[in-house]
Amino acid sequence: MYTKKTFTISQMAWWTRYETFVFIAIIVAFVSAYFFFDLTWLKIPWTPISLIGTAVAFIIGFQNNAAYDRIWEARKIWGGIVNTSRTFGVFVQDMVNNEYTDKPVDEVILKKEIKSLTYRHIAWMTALRHSMRASKPWETTSEHKTNQEYGVRPPEKDATLEVDLKPYISDSDYKYVMSKNNKQTALLYLQSHHLKKLKEDGVIWEFSFLELEGVVQELFTLQGKSERIKNFPYPRQYATMNHLFMWAFVLLLPLALVPQFAEIGIAMLDKNPIIGKYFVWFTIPFYVIVAWIFHTMERIGRTGENPFEGTANDVPISTISRGIEIDLRQNLGETDAEIPKQFESKLNTEF
């Protein structure tokens, strides 16, 4: 999906508020122990903390770059589906004709064949987007409480493939497709078989048939690329270790930060005894800021790992598919009353 509204700092803070409360609890516990129980021995040098922080920053940066690459590649793939779908629509309308037939076919039958091919293509997009929205074990972003509280759900979560597919294909095609594991592949097979039959009947010229088969081949390629991103996650060893390393840094940071602020306060006791005595408590806001930045950047990377999961920042494949359908059916001459409306956005988010 795609969030049209700018994601502000306040929204980001609200999105991560539960983790922020944890950070506050951690640092308050450390400062309290240091201040009230005089645990001056509870400290470690800055050098190991700096090394860990540098390593965590690198791996989080790597994760975010990889996640962005996955999102951008997914968007390019579906951009290719848009262009190829439009090409297929215009090719079908211009290449299915009586120009090379021995016996002219009735125009009503030709229009029926064109509509059948176009609708089957819409069915292919429908099957593909449903397949991309199917849940995978590693797709857990949508399960987070702060993602669920807004009630943002893609249309595929509230409708079944069976219901969405039925209006676009014949009963025989429907039975064939539903008997296969990969529904979108089955639809492209049917599309190719249909084109071959029309070529044998002389309704499609040999050269036109090759052009249309080339488009079907391109659709197979784009489908395969989309399925590759869906079925091969960001390597779990990287994702898991990134998360653990980030929390290790967050938990160890107070052991160096609290003593540092305490030492600054001791140095201020002669001139500013009150401020110097309580200066260690200034550790709290600085620690929360540092921990929040590291955690939020790591969470952003996790959120972007699966661009088809259906969260607020994923690729809006439902909107893309419906937009292509509207284009194709309008160019078939259908009225707006016959064509389904575009999916409505929720909370400024497209699906």
Question: Domain residues of the chain, as ranges?
Answer: 2-350
Closest CA to 309 of 79, 130, 142, 77: 142
| pLDDT value for 337 | 95
Q: Are 291 and 253 in contact (CB under 8 A)?
A: yes
Task: Evaluate if residue 341 carries a pLDDT over 90.
Answer: yes
Q: Which two tokens stand for residue 224?
A: 């395969």
Average per-residue pLDDT for the chain: 92
Place of tokens 């869906």: 230
Distance of alpha carbon 49 from the chain centroid: 34
Task: Evaluate if residue 129 carries a pLDDT over 60.
Answer: yes
pLDDT band at 238 (very low <50, low <70, confident <90, very high): confident
Query: pTM of the full predicted structure?
Result: 0.90
Q: What percent of the chain has pLDDT above 70? A: 97
Mean pLDDT to the nearest integer, 128-137: 95
| pLDDT value for 2 | 44
